[in-house]
């Protein structure tokens, strides 16, 4: 396209326009990366479920399903899509035995130590989603060493791929201190907002001066809303 300024009219005029593309819009082997082209069909979901039920790790499962489809370019979805499918499937499948055991543990800790604090977020169906806990030691450590906090969700505790979120820092001996762990079902802005609000409430609304995270966009949105004046930086690894 060629555009020229008509100085008499004081307007930009399109002098020439060619609507033929001079480059390929995409490569066939990259089509599966385009969001509008990614879809996990029912037959593929069945293979994902079978692999998951037989405890095949996500990477191995994705490679196997890709091989059956004749290559990843023919699969139609990425490994992240497969992970999201499994997470959504398990979203409401926390067994009563697991939830009941966790609640009993919390109740026992509260009976032993009145300073023990825990919070649980429920979904619209009153099912447990996100969980946070802290004791007197972690609260005291935050009071002393909470000027700079690192928040990390890269850990996965089991094959369910539920994030274990940790608020950490270092003490005067340069040893790692943990201010509070949390178990997540999903890493959405709403979940992070709930966790950060819960964390601040537990720590008497004291905000850290420096808060370091990875580049997760949902996390960044939650920080800007809950802790807008806190300096937010990215850790060196990310």
pTM score above 0.85: no
Last residue of some domain: 56, 75, 90? Answer: 90
Pair (202, 104) in one structural domain? yes
| Average pLDDT in the chain | 85
Pair (58, 172) in one structural domain? no
Pair (29, 125) in one structural domain? no
Last residue of some domain: 56, 90, 124? Answer: 90
Pair (58, 79) in one structural domain? yes
Question: What integer pLDDT is reported at residue 232 of this predicted model?
Answer: 94
Alpha carbon distance 143, 93 (integer Å): 37
Question: What integer pLDDT is reported at residue 85 of this predicted model?
Answer: 81
Res. 93: pLDDT tops 60: no
Number of domains in the chain: 2
Pair (141, 198) in one structural domain? yes
Pair (17, 117) in one structural domain? no
- Give the H/E segment covering residue 231: strand 231-234
- Write the DSSP string, 58-86: HHHHHHHHHHHTTSGGGT-S-HHHHHHHH
Pair (102, 84) in one structural domain? no
Helices (H), 113-166: 136-145
Question: What integer pLDDT is reported at residue 14 of this predicted model?
Answer: 94
Res. 95: pLDDT tops 60: no
pLDDT (tens digit per residue) in 177-192: 999 999 888 888 999 9
Q: What percent of the chain clears pLDDT 90, i.e. is strictly above it?
A: 42
Domain that holds residue 180: 96-234
pLDDT (tens digit per residue) in 19-76: 887 777 777 667 767 777 788 888 888 888 888 888 888 888 889 888 888 888 778 8
Res. 8: pLDDT tops 70: yes
Res. 142: pLDDT tops 90: yes
Pair (132, 40) in one structural domain? no
Q: Is the dihedral of CA 169, 175, 179, 182 positive or negative?
A: positive
Cα 108 to Cα 4, 101, 116, 127, 135, distances in angstroms: 77, 11, 10, 22, 13
Q: For residues 72 and 32, is the Cβ–Cβ distance under 8 A? A: yes
Q: For residues 99 and 174, is the Cβ–Cβ distance under 8 A? A: no
Last residue of some domain: 90, 124, 150? Answer: 90
Pair (79, 175) in one structural domain? no
Pair (144, 200) in one structural domain? yes
How is residue 9 written in tokens?
């009219």
Pair (77, 111) in one structural domain? no
């Amino acid at each position: 396209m060629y555009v020229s300024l008509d100085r008499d009219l004081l307007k930009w005029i399109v002098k020439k326009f060619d609507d033929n593309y001079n480059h390929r819009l995409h490569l066939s082997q990259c089509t599966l990366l385009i969001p509008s082209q990614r879809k996990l069909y029912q037959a593929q979901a069945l293979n994902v479920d079978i692999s998951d039920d037989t405890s095949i790790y996500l990477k191995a499962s994705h490679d196997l399903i890709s091989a059956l489809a004749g290559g990843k370019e023919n699969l139609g979805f990425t490994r992240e899509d497969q992970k999201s499918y499994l997470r959504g499937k398990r979203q409401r499948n926390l067994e009563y035995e697991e939830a009941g055991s966790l609640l009993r543990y919390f109740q026992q800790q509260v009976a032993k130590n009145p300073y023990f604090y825990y919070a649980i977020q429920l979904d619209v169906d009153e099912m447990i989603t996100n969980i946070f806990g802290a004791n007197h030691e972690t609260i005291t450590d935050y009071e002393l060493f909470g000027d700079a906090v690192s928040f990390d969700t890269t850990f996965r505790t089991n094959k369910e791929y539920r994030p274990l979120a940790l608020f950490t820092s270092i003490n005067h001996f340069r040893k790692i201190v943990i201010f509070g762990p949390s178990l997540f079902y999903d890493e959405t802005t709403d979940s992070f907002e709930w966790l950060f609000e819960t964390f601040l409430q537990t720590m008497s609304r004291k905000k850290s001066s420096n808060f370091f995270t990875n580049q997760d966009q949902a996390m960044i949105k939650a920080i800007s809303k809950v802790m807008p004046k806190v300096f937010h930086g990215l850790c060196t690894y990310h």
